Structure 1
Amino acid sequence: MSIDFYLVRHAVKEKNVGDVSITAEGLEQAHATASHMKQMRITSIFSSPLNRAKQTAQVIGNATSLQIIEDTRLRERANWGDLPGQTFQEFVEMWDRCTKERDFLPPIGDSARMAGQRLSSFLLDISVQYRLENTVIVTHGGLITDFLLNEFSQEELNTKHPNFTIEQSNLVSECSITKIRLDSEGFKFVDFASIAHLH
């Protein structure tokens, strides 16, 4: 028995501090993703509690007639606005250091390694807790790459995209779909950051 997880990055968000919403462009992306998912016999949808993810998930939920299950383990590594008074430049510098030094613990949020472990444990937990088949996980680009870097070798990551580690922060587009299969042998990397459904 295997489970297919479709890791969906949230749609385009507003460029502002805090728990922002998706934009009009993002809403179009979410609807295109929902149309694609409607054809795939999706059995469950889980979402990060941040607005941009919840709104994306809700569009998919409406199209597939499925309830959204929120889980804090699907939140991003860190979010601009979580640390009071932090400027955007300071946030970017903190983010970049976390990306380069995977065990660096920032003043707010998780290290990159911890974030990736959080997603791994979440996927394993729900595979036991629920009867899952084709499962949509609406989350964040950083969390997806943090998970991939934990679970797969550099060689395998580079078959999906050359220089994966160096370019990781620019690889997961909004509403892209990364497919991961879980079976008795563990996680399998099936497809990475596909945006074919958006065109």
Structure 2
Amino acid sequence: MATLHLVRHGESEWNLAGRVQGQSPEAGALTPRGLDQAAGAAALLAQRNPRAEAIFSSDLPRARQTADVIAAALGLPVREDPRLREQDLGCLEGLRLADPLGEGVVHDEIERLWREPWRRPGDGESITDLYERIHGTLKEYAGQGRELILVAHGGPVRVAMTTADPRLREPVPRVAVGNATVTTVDH
């Protein structure tokens, strides 16, 4: 059996600014609060006494920085895996959630992507694309039969935990995934 600990990155500069991050490397580093959150995730993982062999992290700076904090606390190596990246939100990246867009605001468009998981934001990924990427990656990690820590983003954690199947055009609930939360899944 494999155990995967999914960790969302700590608060980034763009989280704090209310901007759409997606895969933008300009989303910034962790804020001081984000560093504290990452340390809290590391403490929680240490308390759970995982037998994790390694940490795999999205290669985006905010996730890698979170992974490095956890790695320092647990004495584990970190390897980057770009498949753990956030959804590519294309033309929405960098916009503020409250910016006007169409008949609403950017936040409304983000919500619509989860209700209509086949839609792509400009030149970005659909929720269905994200689902297939993340589920394929998790299946590969689970197939190794090891205990691992995977540091990713809110979107990947949401699609990993959903019971909806966007490939069948089912809406995916956009549940809250807090910064630096730890979700453990046994396969």
After TM superposition, the score normalised by the length of structure 2 is 0.76
Specify the code of the residue in structure 1 equivalent to 2:51: R
Specify the code of the residue in structure 1 equivalent to 2:7: V
Task: Give the structure, 1 or 2, with the largest relative contact order (CA under 8 Å, sep 6 or more).
Answer: 2
Per the alignment, residue 32 of structure 2 pairs with: 24
Indicate conservation of the 8 Å contact 2:6/2:182, yes or no: yes
Q: Out of 33-42 and 22-31, give the one that drifted further.
A: 33-42
Indicate conservation of the 8 Å contact 1:4/1:134, yes or no: yes
1:93 Cα deviation after fit = 4.2
Q: Give matches, 1:83-162, under 5 Å.
A: 83=91, 87-88=95-96, 89=99, 90=101, 91-128=106-143, 131-149=144-162, 152=163
Q: Secondary structure at the match of 1:46?
A: strand
Q: Distance in 1 between matches of 2:12 and 2:123?
A: 21
Per the alignment, residue 71 of structure 1 pairs with: 81
Per the alignment, residue 54 of structure 2 pairs with: 44
1:99 Cα deviation after fit = 1.2
Q: Secondary structure at the match of 1:103?
A: coil
Q: When the two structures are aligned, how many residues end up with a matched partner?
A: 164
Per the alignment, residue 13 of structure 2 pairs with: 14
Q: Percent identity?
A: 27
Q: Distance in 1 between matches of 2:79 and 2:5?
A: 15
Indicate conservation of the 8 Å contact 1:77/1:143, yes or no: yes
The one-character-per-residue Cα deviations of 1:79-136 (angstroms, maximum 9, x if unpaired) are: 5xx54996323553442221111111221321111101111111122334xx553211
Q: Distance in 2 between matches of 1:180 and 1:108?
A: 32
1:61 Cα deviation after fit = 0.8
Q: Distance in 1 between matches of 2:63 and 2:164?
A: 28
Q: Distance in 2 between matches of 1:85 and 1:116?
A: 19
Structure 1 unaligned segments of length 5 or more: list them. Answer: 155-163, 183-199
Per the alignment, residue 33 of structure 1 pairs with: 41
Indicate conservation of the 8 Å contact 1:48/1:70, yes or no: yes
Structure 2 unaligned segments of length 5 or more: list them. Answer: 20-25, 166-170
After TM superposition, the score normalised by the length of structure 1 is 0.72
Indicate conservation of the 8 Å contact 1:44/1:132, yes or no: no
Q: Distance in 2 between matches of 1:23 and 1:85?
A: 19
Indicate conservation of the 8 Å contact 1:115/1:147, yes or no: no
Pick one of 165, 177, 181 that aligns with 1:176: 181
1:30 Cα deviation after fit = 0.8
Judged with a 3 Å threshold, the aligned counterparts in structure 2 of structure 1 residues 112 and 33 are, in CA distance, closer, same or farther, namely: same
> Which ranges of 4 or more aligned residues in structure 1 deviate by more than 6 Å?
none
